[in-house]
Structures are given as structure tokens and as C-alpha cells.
């Protein structure tokens, strides 16, 4: 079985919904899957690992390495809060949790170039941990550029891309309806779509994931 990272083109893009859905689906299949959040900013109220635990109705389903109050990039949030944030500690926490789980689902923080700690970025963490990635993107106008650049950044760091998920897909515009096929042609990767979800109901994320491709091999 393989671990995987869920990364995004931006913040608020739907990474947590996809993470919770994948973890929940695996746990329902009897796999000891765990969502791993390296660092949570804007806490409280933001708590992505807590969302995963609630979605799975299991306190063991999600873990977070560090909580910071300011709703900023982790490195900036730590500076604003006058706290130390070590990249090695963040990386080692994630590596330990991924190794301990039957399947670990690493959830990114914002986009790939978000400053994480000590001059390192989210893309450095994903590459250093050696996990393949799923890219979560918006469905509408503008996503072609953002998604293609994100895929390119991962591949430049030798991070395998398992697929792309366009979140909150409704097909309401020409851009939305054509984006999946265009992105598959641009990137060479399979594109899946997720409909809008109710973030006040974490359990709904698990149901949404039923239609996603199997990004994690559990054979």
C-alpha cells in the first residue's frame, strides 16, 4: 500500500474534503488510513485534522503536527506569533505518522509554494517525504493555468502525480465543462470532478469520495 499527498493550487480549494473522503473510504474498507496535517494555521477555528476525524467518526483518523493562531502561511504565522517552527520537526512528524499508518494521506497547506519553515516550502516537504500526489483545483475559469503550473512544479521535483480533482464542479459554464478534457490533454493526467459539498457536514466528504478514482493501491 502506498501513502499519498493531497495538494492544492491554492488555499480553500478543497484539499480537506478530498483528504477526509479518501481516508474515510479506506477506513470503511478496513484499511488503517490516517490523514496527516503537517501544520494548521488559523487555529482556532480552523482544524483540518479535526474535520477528518469528524468525517470518519474516529479520533485516530487525523493528526496534526503543530497548531498556530494566525491565519497565514506557517512560516509567517510562526513569526507573527513569535514561535519557533522547525522544518526538520515538521518533516520528521509527518514521516513518523506516514510510516505508522497502513496508508497515510498527507494534506498540504495552501498551494505548493507556501512558506512552511526555515525557508522551505510545501513542495519541499512533499518531495522530501517521497510520496505521490493528487492535485485539487477549482473547476472554473483560470484553473488551466494554476493546475498545469502545479503539476509542472511537482514533476520538476520528481513527485509522481496520480491525478487531478476539480472540486465544486457543476458544469454551469463553458469553462467548467471543457476544463477536464483540456487539463487531461495539457498534463497527461486523469481528471476527476467533485460536486459542491456542505462543509458543515464532514461525513458527507466520505460519500463524495466514493466516485473518485482509486489513487491508493490497496491490493
Q: How far apart are CA 4 and CA 162, in angstroms?
A: 9
- Find the helix or strand (DSSP H, E) in which 54 lies: helix 48-56
Q: Are 8 and 136 in contact (CB under 8 A)?
A: yes
H helices, E strands: number in the chain: 8, 9
Q: What is the DSSP letter of 83?
A: -
Q: Are 65 and 74 in contact (CB under 8 A)?
A: no
Q: How far apart are CA 121 and CA 126, in angstroms?
A: 9
Strands 161-167 and 133-138: parallel
Q: How far apart are CA 43 and CA 185, in angstroms?
A: 39
Catalytic site positions: 37
Q: Are 33 and 26 in contact (CB under 8 A)?
A: yes
CA distances from 20 to 24, 36, 46, 210 (A): 6, 10, 15, 12
Q: How far apart are CA 44 and CA 104, in angstroms?
A: 24
Amino acid at each position: 500500500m502506498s501513502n499519498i499527498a493531497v495538494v492544492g493550487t491554492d488555499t480553500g480549494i478543497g484539499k480537506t474534503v478530498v483528504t477526509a473522503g479518501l481516508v474515510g473510504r479506506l477506513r470503511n474498507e478496513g484499511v488503517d488510513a490516517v490523514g496527516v496535517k503537517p501544520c494548521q494555521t488559523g487555529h482556532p477555528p480552523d482544524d483540518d485534522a479535526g474535520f477528518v476525524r469528524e468525517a470518519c467518526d474516529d479520533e485516530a483518523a487525523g493528526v496534526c503536527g503543530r497548531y498556530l493562531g494566525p491565519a497565514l502561511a506557517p512560516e509567517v504565522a510562526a513569526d507573527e506569533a513569535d514561535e519557533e517552527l522547525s522544518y526538520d520537526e515538521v518533516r520528521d512528524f509527518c514521516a513518523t505518522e506516514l510510516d505508522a499508518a497502513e496508508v497515510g494521506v498527507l494534506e498540504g497547506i495552501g498551494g505548493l509554494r507556501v512558506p512552511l519553515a526555515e525557508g522551505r516550502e510545501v513542495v519541499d516537504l512533499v518531495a522530501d517525504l517521497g510520496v505521490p500526489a493528487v492535485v485539487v483545483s477549482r473547476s472554473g475559469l483560470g484553473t488551466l493555468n494554476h493546475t498545469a503550473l502545479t503539476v509542472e512544479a511537482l514533476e520538476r521535483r520528481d513527485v509522481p502525480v496520480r491525478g487531478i480533482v476539480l472540486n465544486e464542479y457543476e458544469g454551469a459554464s463553458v469553462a467548467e465543462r471543457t476544463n477536464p478534457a483540456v487539463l487531461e490533454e495539457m498534463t497527461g493526467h486523469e481528471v476527476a470532478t467533485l460536486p459542491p459539498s456542505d462543509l458543515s457536514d464532514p461525513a458527507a466528504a466520505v460519500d463524495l469520495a466514493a466516485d473518485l478514482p482509486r489513487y491508493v493501491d490497496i491490493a
